[in-house]
């Protein structure tokens, strides 16, 4: 059976798994089919490993050692041309179908930042950490545990977005909230989906004007983004592929991330970890600086492997040092210079 599936990649692998092994593994089947759609050597190796693990798991001692198979012939996926406009059309075609039926209001994003952009005033420990984090080469998360805000207006998050706009740094900002404007509680999974979809929208919008890739970024793939919890895994995969096609520095801000972890839902926590790891990936040309603001301690962030800085500002008095637009722009240039030096080292 393994030989037959290996040599007939054009067949219905999902159906074969279900009929031959008499099992129901929708997640694995989806992953296999997504990998097979790439039709390249890496995808084949991943599929083959997953299938072998499946056979050993379900057949146990009855698993027979199969004789070596003839080397499969790989078909390299043809490259397709894309640009940011096409990607946005692919995304919005899907998005428009469900947003009218179930409107997300979970991420409250200010539409305009019309007040004068000067910078932000905060405790020296906070502004120094922001300055160091922003000027450091490579992707990194800065986690600021701050005191509860009475109002969102001119908060640290909105000030950082305003600085990014003034310096023309691509940014995506999400503001998670407990209650909507009518006092009704937001669903945490819905808020995470909105955060994830907003990240996808950002990297669609900021994609190169014209590029070619063998990755599947077609409208049919985006059709999986139907606003349900089942769309989270495909969305994470799409986001990673979009990031791989972008370049330059991007600022990601999530205000109130602790709200999404208040229920201690282990599945949602895993999705959050996957999202943050994707943003911190060093294998792409993108340098993503992620600013996370919370009013509670987050064990998920504390235990997250990788580059995460933490500043506990919950008991600081909020005064002392100014982080200006000039500081922001100078830090960006310093980070770019460090990246160039590391590439030539």
In the predicted model, is pLDDT for residue 325 greater than 80?
yes
pLDDT for the residue 297: 87
Q: Mean pLDDT lowest for which of 51-55, 250-254, 269-273, 283-287?
A: 51-55
Mean pLDDT of the chain: 76
- pLDDT above 90 covers a percentage of the chain that reads 33
In the predicted model, is pLDDT for residue 2 greater than 60?
no
- Reported confidence tier of residue 12, pLDDT bands at 50, 70, 90: low
Q: Which residues touch 190 (CB under 8 Å, ≥6 apart)?
A: 104, 106
Q: How far apart are CA 321 and CA 294, in angstroms?
A: 21
Closest alpha carbon to 281 in 311, 252, 310, 312? 252
Q: Mean pLDDT lowest for which of 24-28, 134-138, 249-253, 258-262?
A: 24-28
| CA angle 58–61–67, rounded 5-degree value | 90
In the predicted model, is pLDDT for residue 279 greater than 60?
yes
pLDDT for the residue 263: 72
Count of other CB atoms within 10 angstroms of residue 175 = 22
In the predicted model, is pLDDT for residue 41 greater than 80?
no
Residue identified by tokens 């030096």 is: 341
In the predicted model, is pLDDT for residue 252 greater than 80?
yes
Q: What is the mean pLDDT of residues 34-43?
A: 50
pLDDT for the residue 276: 94
- Reported confidence tier of residue 319, pLDDT bands at 50, 70, 90: low
Note whether 253 and 173 are within 8 A (CB).
yes
Q: Which residues touch 102 (CB under 8 Å, ≥6 apart)?
A: 227
Q: What is the mean pLDDT of residues 29-40?
A: 50
pLDDT for the residue 294: 93
In the predicted model, is pLDDT for residue 6 greater than 60?
no
Domain boundaries of the chain, sorted by first residue: 2-62, 82-344
- In the numeric block, which tokens belong to residue 304? 């997250």
pLDDT tens figures, 53-96: 555 555 554 444 433 344 444 344 578 889 899 999 988 877 76
In the predicted model, is pLDDT for residue 99 greater than 70?
no
pLDDT tens figures, 113-138: 445 567 888 889 999 999 999 998 88
Q: How far apart are CA 225 and CA 231, in angstroms?
A: 5
pLDDT for the residue 114: 47
Q: What is the mean pLDDT of residues 269-278?
A: 93
- Reported confidence tier of residue 51, pLDDT bands at 50, 70, 90: low
pLDDT for the residue 77: 57
Q: How far apart are CA 181 and CA 335, in angstroms?
A: 40
CATH 3.40.50 fits 82-344, yes or no: yes
Question: Within the chain, where are the H helices?
Answer: 2-7, 13-21, 26-36, 41-59, 84-99, 124-135, 156-166, 188-205, 219-222, 232-245, 266-279, 299-302, 325-344
């Amino acid at each position: 059976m393994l030989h037959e599936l290996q040599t007939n990649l054009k067949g219905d692998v999902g159906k074969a798994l279900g009929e031959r092994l008499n099992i129901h593994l929708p997640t694995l089947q989806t992953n296999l089919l997504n990998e097979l759609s790439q039709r390249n050597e890496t995808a084949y190796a991943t599929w083959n490993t997953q299938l072998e693990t499946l056979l050993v798991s379900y057949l146990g001692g009855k698993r027979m050692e199969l004789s070596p198979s003839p080397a499969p012939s790989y078909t390299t996926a043809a490259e397709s041309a894309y640009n940011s406009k096409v990607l946005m059309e692919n995304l919005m075609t899907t998005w428009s179908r469900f947003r009218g039926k179930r409107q997300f209001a979970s991420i409250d994003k200010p539409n305009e930042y019309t007040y004068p952009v000067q910078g932000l005033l905060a405790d020296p420990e906070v502004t120094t950490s922001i300055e160091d984090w922003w000027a450091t080469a490579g992707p990194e998360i800065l986690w600021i545990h701050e005191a509860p805000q009475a109002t969102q207006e001119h908060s640290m998050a909105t000030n950082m977005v305003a600085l990014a706009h003034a310096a023309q740094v691509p940014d995506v900002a999400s503001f998670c909230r407990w209650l909507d404007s009518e006092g009704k509680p937001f669903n945490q999974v819905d808020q995470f989906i909105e955060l994830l979809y907003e990240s996808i929208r950002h990297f669609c919008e900021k994609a190169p004007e014209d590029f070619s890739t063998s990755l599947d970024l077609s409208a049919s793939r985006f059709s999986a983004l139907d606003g349900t919890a089942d769309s989270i895994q495909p969305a994470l995969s799409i986001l990673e592929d979009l990031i791989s096609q972008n370049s330059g520095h991007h600022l990601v801000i999530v205000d109130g991330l602790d709200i999404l972890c208040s229920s201690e839902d282990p599945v949602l926590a895993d999705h959050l970890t996957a999202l943050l790891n994707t943003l911190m990936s060093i294998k792409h040309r993108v340098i993503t600086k992620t600013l996370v603001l919370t009013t509670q301690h987050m064990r998920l962030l504390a235990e997250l492997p990788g580059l995460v800085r933490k500043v506990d500002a919950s008991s600081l008095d909020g005064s002392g040092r100014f982080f200006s637009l000039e500081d922001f722009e100078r830090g960006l240039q310093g980070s770019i210079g460090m990246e160039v030096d590391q590439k030539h080292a």
